Chains A and B, each alone.
Chain A
């Protein structure tokens, strides 16, 4: 990781000297075992840039805020899909972006690690030792084998070395995924339940939702300038309000099901929605279900720039005859 950080800072300084507006990467977080998105605007600021196993954030969505500026962005393999998605949907001008790819060894699941430390432990030091994360607290050293503590999405990751990037920082990383794991295992388990069981399962999860919209805000596929669920135009021109601000089970379901459906076929699989949720709803169970069904139903059919639902084939399966 150290060599990557050095190359990262060097490249960032070079690009900033060449006149880009921002180099969007990561810096150290203010709480233990974390990082944060960081916008370096001047060459002097690059020393704050880091890349480590806490750099979970998908930075690609920030690019939408600077449509006419030259920017560089650090991407991991899971973030990379979002770039081509946003370019194809004409939110981004690819010629203005410098995509800096980083070989990834997997991102630590912060909540799981913290949950296993003794209660009220003070974290004194954190060390990333390639295959393990070592956390020193007042009670001693705790070793977390990365293979066991990376995020669920990393365990099935097939693309930890981002392709088609402009600059690649360092050499390829070895695969992170566990080849035995089925990415759709949990989806299949839910599919196997009876209707009442499925309903009970989902009601329990969706009831928790605060409608903070963090999942939508962080999602690179949620890039509409006017979201279906926002009152875009007040007054007499106001369109139908699908949702109010009320937290009710039907409204919560409506929001999650339709957002998942709007993202269907366009999901990059970065799992940021799940990570940011303050009440821990496993949202990827919805997105993965749609991804799986799309593959099964339309897998061989021609793709469209805007996603699989914006096109069709006369040979599509038909259950409605």
Chain B
């Protein structure tokens, strides 16, 4: 792992040079909303982004993606699979969102790997950005994520005043850093202490007391507890939490066609929608909202951990901030810990 420095005024030119050979996907404020999308100029980028409304998973696992096209005009079948191979750099990911990619990797890259996700993941370099402040809804530290930790990124930037500390963490990151002379090699004294102090300052701003340690084991015993029905009483059954969640990955496949041509689309789906587990027979194992809501929390807190060894929640706080009826996963975690089985 190498450490370099990048003077703050050099960041825009670094990003501009990246754009010469790769597609740059960066945080942009559109009509007041922070989202990640491809940019055509550095001036569009919010260089020191807060928390985006939509998580950057959208680049790897798009809300609506055409995965293949067909055409049968002239009696011949033309079938085109649509895999995105272009080189890209995703800039400005916070540690929670970087961790979310590890959660999605466990799902999409397990054999047989999802070709569409895998191609984007392979061809996209990640430049992480440490947080400069914690928000009241944040609780990444509950899952062992450090707000200044770059694990999972190829290059990770931490604001230390007049410059960014640049940690080059992977061979891909090393390749990227080697191309650009904007990085300097100055050693700054006490870097580790600066990072540690920053981490503690931010952690203090985040939610405290969310301890989900024993939960995966505990939850099996509280599956039938009346708590889930009580919690669901105010739930609207919308899809906000699932769509803004960086680790949610359920999808639906749908074909749209007209005449002799058409395409197959993969679209986000929400486990809270009524037809989520509706079978073609008409039977619906999760016909009540409380069953679907319970399923979501079990997935985030238990099933993901049991199956992949990694918690399904990264503590980004988006669902907490945006749920219209204030269903708070931190509260769910705390309550479940206290429930008797």
A and B in direct contact, judged by CB atoms within 8 A: yes
Q: Is A62 positioned at the interface, with any CB of B under 8 Å from its CB?
A: yes
Which of B32, B53, B270, B281 contacts A235 (CB under 8 A)?
A: B281
For A244, the closest partner residue in chain B by CB is B254
Using Cβ atoms and an 8 Å threshold, which residues of chain A touch B337? none
Q: Are A247 and B64 in contact (CB under 8 A)?
A: yes
Using Cβ atoms and an 8 Å threshold, which residues of chain A touch B64? 245-248
Interface residues of A in 108-125 (CB under 8 A from B): 119-120, 122-123
**Bound form: Cα–Cα A37–B242 in Å:** 20
Q: Is A88 positioned at the interface, with any CB of B under 8 Å from its CB?
A: no
Interface residues on B, range: 35 or more
Using Cβ atoms and an 8 Å threshold, which residues of chain A touch B87? none
Given A31-B326, A245-B268, are A122 and B136 also a contact pair (CB < 8 Å)? yes
Q: Are B267 and A244 in contact (CB under 8 A)?
A: yes
Q: Is B274 positioned at the interface, with any CB of A under 8 Å from its CB?
A: yes
Q: Is A5 positioned at the interface, with any CB of B under 8 Å from its CB?
A: no
Contact with B along A25-38 (1 / 0, CB 8 A): 00001111011111
Q: Are B236 and A214 in contact (CB under 8 A)?
A: yes
Using Cβ atoms and an 8 Å threshold, which residues of chain A touch B320? 30-31
Given A31-B321, A122-B205, A218-B238, are A247 and B63 also a contact pair (CB < 8 Å)? yes
Given A230-B274, A244-B254, A278-B53, are A30 and B243 also a contact pair (CB < 8 Å)? no
| Closest-CB distance, A72 to chain B (whole angstroms) | 14
| Closest-CB distance, B324 to chain A (whole angstroms) | 4
| Closest-CB distance, B214 to chain A (whole angstroms) | 22
Q: Are B325 and A36 in contact (CB under 8 A)?
A: yes
Using Cβ atoms and an 8 Å threshold, which residues of chain B touch A244? 254, 256, 265, 267
Q: Is B273 positioned at the interface, with any CB of A under 8 Å from its CB?
A: yes
**Bound form: Cα–Cα A230–B320 in Å:** 27
Using Cβ atoms and an 8 Å threshold, which residues of chain B touch A314? none
Using Cβ atoms and an 8 Å threshold, which residues of chain A touch B134? 120
Using Cβ atoms and an 8 Å threshold, which residues of chain A touch B330? 30
For A237, the closest partner residue in chain B by CB is B282
Q: Is B240 positioned at the interface, with any CB of A under 8 Å from its CB?
A: yes
Q: Is A234 positioned at the interface, with any CB of B under 8 Å from its CB?
A: yes
Using Cβ atoms and an 8 Å threshold, which residues of chain B touch A233? 282
**Bound form: Cα–Cα A218–B136 in Å:** 26
For chain A, what secondary structure do more than half of its interface residues adopt (helix, strand, loop), or is it mixed?
loop
Q: Is A231 positioned at the interface, with any CB of B under 8 Å from its CB?
A: yes
For B132, the closest partner residue in chain A by CB is A120
Contact with B along A11-40 (1 / 0, CB 8 A): 000000000001000000111101111110
Using Cβ atoms and an 8 Å threshold, which residues of chain A touch B265? 244, 246
Which of B133, B239, B281 contacts A119 (CB under 8 A)?
A: B133
Interface residues of B in 250-302 (CB under 8 A from A): 252, 254, 256, 265, 267-270, 273-275, 278-282
Q: Are A214 and B133 in contact (CB under 8 A)?
A: no
Q: Is B237 positioned at the interface, with any CB of A under 8 Å from its CB?
A: yes
Q: Are A31 and B32 in contact (CB under 8 A)?
A: no
Q: Are B254 and A37 in contact (CB under 8 A)?
A: no
**Bound form: Cα–Cα A233–B233 in Å:** 26
Using Cβ atoms and an 8 Å threshold, which residues of chain A touch B54? 210
Q: Is A217 positioned at the interface, with any CB of B under 8 Å from its CB?
A: yes
| Closest-CB distance, B160 to chain A (whole angstroms) | 17
Given A36-B326, A280-B33, are A245 and B321 also a contact pair (CB < 8 Å)? no
Q: Is A96 positioned at the interface, with any CB of B under 8 Å from its CB?
A: no
Q: Is A204 positioned at the interface, with any CB of B under 8 Å from its CB?
A: yes
Using Cβ atoms and an 8 Å threshold, which residues of chain A touch B63? 210, 247
**Bound form: Cα–Cα A218–B53 in Å:** 20
Q: Are B234 and A235 in contact (CB under 8 A)?
A: no
Q: Is B182 positioned at the interface, with any CB of A under 8 Å from its CB?
A: no
**Bound form: Cα–Cα A31–B136 in Å:** 8
For B269, the closest partner residue in chain A by CB is A245
Using Cβ atoms and an 8 Å threshold, which residues of chain B touch A39? 230, 233-234
Using Cβ atoms and an 8 Å threshold, which residues of chain A touch B282? 233-235
Using Cβ atoms and an 8 Å threshold, which residues of chain B touch A218? 236, 238, 324
| Closest-CB distance, A271 to chain B (whole angstroms) | 12
Q: Are B331 and A213 in contact (CB under 8 A)?
A: no
**Bound form: Cα–Cα A67–B229 in Å:** 17
Q: Are B233 and A280 in contact (CB under 8 A)?
A: no
| Closest-CB distance, A120 to chain B (whole angstroms) | 4
Q: Are A208 and B33 in contact (CB under 8 A)?
A: yes
Q: Is B135 positioned at the interface, with any CB of A under 8 Å from its CB?
A: yes
Interface residues of B in 21-73 (CB under 8 A from A): 30-33, 50, 53-54, 63-64
Q: Are B31 and A208 in contact (CB under 8 A)?
A: yes
Interface residues of B in 134-148 (CB under 8 A from A): 134-137
Given A38-B234, A244-B267, A245-B268, are A275 and B324 also a contact pair (CB < 8 Å)? yes
For A38, the closest partner residue in chain B by CB is B234
Q: Is A193 positioned at the interface, with any CB of B under 8 Å from its CB?
A: no
| Closest-CB distance, A290 to chain B (whole angstroms) | 23
**Bound form: Cα–Cα A185–B62 in Å:** 38
| Closest-CB distance, B320 to chain A (whole angstroms) | 6
Residues of B participating in the A interface, judged by any CB pair closer than 8 Å: 30-33, 50, 53-54, 63-64, 132-137, 205, 230, 233-234, 236-240, 242-244, 252, 254, 256, 265, 267-270, 273-275, 278-282, 320-322, 324-326, 328, 330-331
Q: List 24 A-B contacts (CB under 8 A).
A: A35-B326, A37-B325, A62-B233, A120-B132, A120-B133, A123-B136, A204-B31, A210-B240, A210-B243, A212-B270, A214-B239, A218-B238, A234-B282, A235-B280, A244-B267, A245-B64, A245-B267, A245-B269, A247-B268, A276-B236, A276-B238, A276-B240, A276-B324, A280-B31
Residues of A participating in the B interface, judged by any CB pair closer than 8 Å: 22, 29-32, 34-39, 57, 62, 119-120, 122-123, 204, 208, 210-214, 216-218, 230-231, 233-235, 244-248, 272, 275-276, 278-280
- A-B pairs, top 3 by smallest CB distance, nearest first, are A120-B133, A214-B238, A36-B326
User: A31-B137, A208-B30 known; 12 other A-B pairs, CB under 8 Å?
Assistant: A30-B330, A36-B234, A39-B233, A123-B136, A212-B243, A234-B281, A244-B256, A245-B252, A246-B267, A276-B240, A278-B243, A279-B53
